Amino acid sequence: MNKDARLISSADFPEIDYMITSPPYWDMLNMKGAENQAKRIEKGLQTNYSESDDDLGNISDYNYFLNDLIEVYFNLLNCMKPGSFLTIVVKNIKKKGRNYPFAWDLASGLMQKVHILPEVFWCQDDINLAPYGYGNTFVSNTFHQYCLTFQKPN
């Protein structure tokens, strides 16, 4: 099915027991000149999610993006059984010298409707830790993601 997640209804699927997903990372694919952009160009990959104004990956304001994404997950919860589980693979965001606690902001917003369970770390051990900007400003690369699991109340 190719459908905007904001428009999915319980009629589209049988009731879901467990869902695992990873959200778009804000507008990070749109950041011109970023290291990630260069790597994606080199591999022949897209450097944005789409050109659509409706695409969450094209929202420039962090809070607006976060709130829209939380509403997407709230909508998906309507397709899930009571007591079912949702795991979101997510990491925090570093953008233009600022850290955004994306994983935790997302978890906080979702806790309005679901219970959070203990988090699991996915260590990406194929990535070397590197202190970018050493001597000027310290920004390390990220080599882990959170697997945040939630349970829908009965």
Query: For residue range 15-46, what is the model confidence (pLDDT) as tens digits?
Result: 999 999 988 767 666 666 666 667 777 888 77
- CATH class of the domain at 5-151: alpha beta
**Whose structure tokens read 């010298």?**
97
What mean pLDDT comes out for the span 85-90? 96
Q: Nearest 5°: phi and psi at 136?
A: -120, -60
The string of pLDDT tens digits covering residues 59-77 is 789 999 999 999 999 999 9
